[in-house]
């Protein structure tokens, strides 16, 4: 963060300021508040206002507080709500920088797309990007506060569980380019339907028309494509199946550890390569390529950026270990994500394919249908299933319905039992997939398979 006066920060937060000094940083953690403005947040089980004394003891220069009756030994900014104050602060700060800002959301693939966007834009700019999975209404504004005079482009990832969350982040991040990777079924239990998910994702486009920005949307997603006459801002459509997409991929060829394809843009085509597993990642690459072209990069820069990202920088990793082909994707899961991974997993050349699948959460009334769909797809490419956690029975029912013999489908109460069964059945030369919602902790099953638990 570049230095700003406390009164200026207070203005952005619509707060009342006591005292004046220069602030070089903002922290929401009392332990790291030394030399910074401490902004305490309130959670379900804690109120960080209780740690203001510790923050001051640790060297906080000033504090933010919604406890208007309290006085502190350092200058303070009093606000109505510290969570909103963080968003307002970051929004005011971000507005000081004229560099292009790209925001990305989607049901699946947004983190990979964020990394691809940063890799592509990095061919021509000094890029700030959302770190790790800091894509919520706390992590995103904290990322914006890391912008500096040397920032030439920024990429903000925006995730959500409920309506209104992306709207808040869009107002804060003020993107010039808004990217939606797809509309799936993640969080359908909170949002009611795919139409509801689409509405929530489109919050990322709020304010584009007023700022002169544009959107990058999937032409292969009917819920977006059917709204194409409604948008009041320019849209760059990307896709594989829709011939009307302005940026397309053709002649997809899955290679060992990646995908080759022809990148089509403005009546020309360019050879492109991804060092990421699965043809589904080509859609993410198209979104990143579109943003690159929009900000003025040339085709060589765009394709170099796409090829420069490795799977070690994403959630999904494909590698060999102990003679096994391992497909590790244990960060999170939704039906759409697992179906895409299964298509890629089925293309891995191996003696046999076994999938260790954990349950998928936040699906509401769609839970059984979504799990059964995954089970049916797994039956088409797997020789055996090892199931754990919520809705394992639904996964099994879908697989057996699709023809996988019941004796090849096991449900296990612990990761240890699953890993033991998989070690008993699998042999070097086989391919093993580990996938499930984050809460299922399928990475533990993988570690136990290799006796690392």
Mean pLDDT, rounded, for 279-286: 91
Please check the confidence at residue 190 and state whether its pLDDT lies above 80: no
Please check the confidence at residue 187 and state whether its pLDDT lies above 80: no
Helix (H, G, I), strand (E, B) or coil at 229: coil
* Span 13-66, pLDDT tens digits: 999 999 999 999 999 999 999 999 999 999 888 999 999 999 999 999 999 999
How far apart are the C-alpha atoms of 338 and 373, rounded to whole Å? 10
How far apart are the C-alpha atoms of 172 and 166, rounded to whole Å? 10
CATH number at residue 380: 3.90.190.20
Domain membership of residue 92 (yes or no) is: no
Domain membership of residue 32 (yes or no) is: yes
CATH number at residue 39: 3.40.1390.10
Final residue in a domain of this structure, among 267, 294, 311: 311
Domain membership of residue 414 (yes or no) is: yes
Mean pLDDT, rounded, for 280-295: 96
Tell me the pLDDT of the chain averaged across its residues.
93
In this predicted structure, what is the pLDDT of residue 44? 87
DSSP 290-313: HHHHHTT--HHHHHHHHHH-BGGG
- 109 and 73 in one domain? no
- 300 and 323 in one domain? no
How far apart are the C-alpha atoms of 204 and 85, rounded to whole Å? 20
Tell me the pTM.
Answer: 0.82
- 322 and 444 in one domain? yes
- 115 and 225 in one domain? yes
Answer for the pair 171, 207: CB distance below 8 angstroms, yes or no.
yes
CB atoms within 10 A of CB 20: 12
Domain membership of residue 355 (yes or no) is: yes
Boundaries of domain holding 417: 317-449
Domain membership of residue 36 (yes or no) is: yes
- 222 and 128 in one domain? yes
The burial of 136, by beta-carbon neighbours within 10 Å (0-12 exposed, 13-18 middle, 19 or more buried), is given as middle
Q: How confident is the model at residue 189 (pLDDT cuts 50, 70, 90)?
A: low
Q: Which of 299, 243, 235 is nearest to 269 (CA)?
A: 299
Answer for the pair 286, 298: CB distance below 8 angstroms, yes or no.
no
- 257 and 160 in one domain? yes
Which positions ≥6 away from 206 have C-beta within 8 Å? 167, 170, 171
- 386 and 338 in one domain? yes
In this predicted structure, what is the pLDDT of residue 313? 59
Q: Which of 30, 22, 137, 131 is nearest to 87 (CA)?
A: 137
Please check the confidence at residue 312 and state whether its pLDDT lies above 80: no
- 337 and 399 in one domain? yes
Final residue in a domain of this structure, among 81, 105, 129: 81
* Span 214-229, pLDDT tens digits: 999 999 999 999 999 9
- 150 and 77 in one domain? no
In this predicted structure, what is the pLDDT of residue 334? 85
Indicate the pairing of strand 247-255 with strand 235-239: parallel
- 271 and 204 in one domain? yes
Final residue in a domain of this structure, among 285, 311, 337: 311
What tokens does 383 get?
Answer: 């020789």
How far apart are the C-alpha atoms of 313 and 276, rounded to whole Å? 10
How far apart are the C-alpha atoms of 30 and 117, rounded to whole Å? 33
* Span 230-242, pLDDT tens digits: 999 999 999 999 9
Q: How confident is the model at residue 411 (pLDDT cuts 50, 70, 90)?
A: very high
- 267 and 355 in one domain? no
Which positions ≥6 away from 196 have C-beta within 8 Å? 163, 188
* Span 320-376, pLDDT tens digits: 899 999 999 888 788 888 988 898 898 888 999 999 999 988 888 888 999 999 999
Cα dihedral across residues 48, 161, 313, 437: positive or negative: positive
CATH number at residue 184: 3.40.1190.10
What tokens does 115 get?
Answer: 């990394």
- 373 and 252 in one domain? no
Tally of structural domains, the chain: 3
């Amino acid at each position: 963060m570049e230095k700003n006066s406390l009164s200026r920060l207070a203005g952005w937060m619509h707060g009342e300021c006591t005292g004046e000094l220069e602030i070089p940083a903002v922290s929401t953690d009392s332990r790291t508040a030394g030399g910074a403005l401490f902004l305490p947040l309130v959670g379900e089980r804690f109120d960080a206002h209780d740690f203001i004394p510790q923050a001051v003891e640790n060297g906080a220069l000033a504090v933010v507080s919604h406890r208007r009756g309290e006085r502190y030994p350092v200058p303070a900014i009093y606000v109505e709500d510290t969570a909103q104050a963080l968003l307002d602060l970051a929004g005011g700060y971000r507005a000081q920088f004229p560099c292009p800002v790209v925001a990305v959301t989607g049901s699946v693939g947004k983190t990979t797309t964020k990394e691809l966007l940063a890799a592509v834009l990095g061919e021509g700019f000094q890029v700030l990007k959302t770190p790790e999975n800091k894509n919520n209404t706390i992590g995103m504004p904290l990322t914006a506060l890391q912008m500096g005079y040397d920032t030439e482009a920024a990429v903000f990832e925006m995730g959500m569980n409920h309506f209104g969350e992306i709207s808040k982040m869009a107002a804060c991040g003020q993107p010039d380019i808004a990217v939606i990777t797809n509309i799936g079924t993640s969080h359908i239990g909170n949002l009611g339907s795919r139409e509801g998910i689409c509405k929530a994702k489109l919050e990322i486009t709020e304010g584009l028309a007023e700022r002169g920005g544009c959107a990058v949307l999937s032409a292969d997603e009917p819920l977006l494509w059917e709204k194409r006459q409604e948008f009041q801002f320019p849209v760059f459509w990307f896709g594989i199946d829709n011939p009307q997409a302005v940026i397309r991929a053709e002649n997809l060829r899955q290679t060992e550890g990646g995908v080759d394809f022809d990148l089509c843009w403005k009546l020309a085509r360019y050879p492109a390569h991804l060092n990421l597993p699965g043809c589904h990642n080509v859609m993410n690459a198209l979104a990143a390529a579109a943003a690159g072209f929009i900000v003025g990069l040339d085709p060589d820069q765009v394709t170099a950026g796409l090829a420069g990202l490795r799977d070690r920088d994403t959630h999904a990793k494909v590698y060999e270990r102990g003679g096994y082909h391992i497909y590790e994707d244990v960060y999170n899961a939704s039906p759409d994500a697992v179906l895409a991974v299964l298509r890629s997993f089925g293309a891995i050349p191996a003696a046999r394919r076994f999938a260790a699948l954990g349950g998928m959460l936040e699906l509401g009334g769609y839970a059984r249908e979504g799990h059964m769909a995954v089970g049916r797809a797994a039956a088409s490419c797997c020789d055996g299933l090892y199931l754990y956690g919520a809705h394992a029975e639904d996964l099994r029912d879908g697989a057996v319905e699709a023809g996988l013999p019941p004796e090849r489908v096991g449900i296990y109460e612990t990761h240890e039992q699953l890993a033991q069964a998989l070690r008993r059945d699998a042999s070097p030369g086989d391919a093993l997939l580990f996938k499930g919602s984050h809460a299922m902790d399928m990475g533990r099953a993988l570690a136990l398979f290799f006796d690392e638990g």
